[in-house]
Amino acid sequence: MSQPIDLSQFPDLPVEVLNAFAAVQFELSVERAARQHEQAVVAEKDAFITALKELIEKLESQVQDYRRTKFGPKSEKLDPAQMELALEDLETAIAETQAQIAFVEEKIAASGPDPEKAAPRKGAQGTRAAPEPTARRTSDRAR
């Protein structure tokens, strides 16, 4: 990271130049802070995405276990009470995982808008206004 220029080393510079340098240094510090903030937001969202992917894998595994327990070849051999208990446990685990996914999604939504989606892209064209309607020609025969 570059260090700010010490303008006291140049006592002969006009005041306008000193003010211009100070303004540029301020703009650079603001841009640097904004970039650091964006990097922090991106890192946070990357962590949320990783957490969501892990939760989705866990949920898919739980759903497979549920299907295997309910529809697998041994499902007919189990006592109905045991089957109900096993399915209830799996349903509870699935519901907990879904709640965790919802919590992470809320965190993502609360973290603010995505800077890439919020800013218009370069070269993106706005919507055009609809053309003015033209008057229809009516012929004497149509009347």
123: left (phi over 0), alpha (psi -120 to 50) or beta: left
**pLDDT per residue of the chain (143 residues) written in tens, 0 to 9:** 567 677 778 788 888 988 898 899 899 999 999 999 999 999 999 999 999 999 999 989 988 988 888 887 776 777 888 888 888 888 998 999 999 989 988 888 887 665 555 555 555 555 556 566 665 655 555 54
Q: How many residues does the structure list for the chain?
A: 143
Q: Read off the DSSP letter of residue 73.
A: G
Rounded CA separation 46/111 (Å)? 12
Sign of the four-CA dihedral 135, 136, 137, 141: negative
Pair 102, 71: CB distance under 8 Å: no
